[in-house]
Amino acid sequence: MKTVKAKLLSTVFGGLALVLCSAMFAINSVKEIAQQYDVLIEEELTAQLQVNFVLNTFKTQVQEWKNILIRGSNPSQFDKHLKQFKEQEIIVQDLSSQLISSTFLPKKLIS
């Protein structure tokens, strides 16, 4: 009787150990997936913020171009707005280059 009881207990404890190992593996896998997801979300958020910044800067550049067209008949206004337009153009070009060279954008969007 003692040997049957010992065999039964060892089988139960062996099964529990197997379930425990499986649970630990599952928890570790979920933790890794959650970390990968956090990194992905952070990279996408950073890319989105950079794109929005480029977009806002480009809108400012377009507004300066409109100012040239509307107020360009006055030479001092023309020079003022042309200077601001060129400054915005440099900023937009730099930001766009940085955004394209960053690792945040999916490669299929850049190609």
pTM of the model: 0.63
Is the confidence at residue 111, as pLDDT, over 60? no
Q: What percent of the chain has pLDDT over 90?
A: 59
Q: Is the dihedral of CA 61, 87, 103, 36 positive or negative?
A: negative
Tokens 């040997």: give the residue: 3
- Read off the pLDDT of each residue in 46-71 and give the average, rounded to a whole number: 92
Model confidence at 102, in pLDDT bands (50, 70, 90)? confident
> What percent of the chain has a predicted confidence (pLDDT) above 70?
91
Q: Quick one: average pLDDT of 84-101?
A: 91
**Angle between the 2-71 and 75-101 helix axes, to the nearest 10 degrees?**
160
3 state SS for 5-51: HHHHHHHHHHHHHHHHHHHHHHHHHHHHHHHHHHHHHHHHHHHHHHH
Task: Determine contact, residues 97/50, Cβ cutoff 8 Å.
Answer: no
